[in-house]
Amino acid sequence: MIARLPLEEQLVALRSTLSRNEVLMDVLHRSPRLRLPGWYLTAGCLFQTVWNVVTGRPPADGIKDYDLFYFDDHDLSWEAEDAVIRRGEDVFAGLPAEVEIRNEARVHLWYEAKFGVPCAPYTSTEAAIDSFAATTCCLGVRLDPAGRWRVYAPHGLADVFNLVVRPNPVLAPREVYETKTSRWRRQWPELTVLDWPVPR
């Protein structure tokens, strides 16, 4: 069982598993062309690739988009972010999937209007990944200038490989967690989804 391996071996297994998703690998290798500060490929495209491989599905099955986060707090305007998104359209042209590019330094400007709770400004892309609705989702990968993998996994990889979805009640409301997990269960019924904690 991969989740019981030493961490360095889990990282090897993660890279091997993600490498089976050709779309993901294409996004990962094209992303450095954008020269984005603090970038990571993150969220569903990663853990859902693992779920697919573990359950014997095609690696890219059911993955709606590929999230590319970066952090640039020098210009918080929508125009600056939109310029990056437009550059990304050229870089990722021809891929059979959408790549969603977001500047995590701007999230606090729109988060409350969308989700109903305020979000303090993030200080890094890693801080943004830390706030995902489930700890299982808190995962990011990127390539350094030498082509080496950098993996950010603040909660480890055991739950990802074990198909366990664990709530992360630090920012996203309970409704966001339950909406996401309901959708994931329909696609991957093998998941074990843990309940949102209820205050005593």
The structural domains of the chain, with segments of one domain joined by +, span: 2-193
The per-residue pLDDT for 19 is 95
State how far the Cα of 41 lies from the Cα of 142, in Å rounded to an integer. Answer: 6
Average pLDDT over the chain, rounded to whole?
93
Mean pLDDT of 169-175: 91
* pTM for the predicted model, two decimal places: 0.92
- Which pLDDT value is given to residue 50? 97
What are the distances in angstroms from CA 69 to CA 83, 162, 194?
Answer: 14, 26, 27
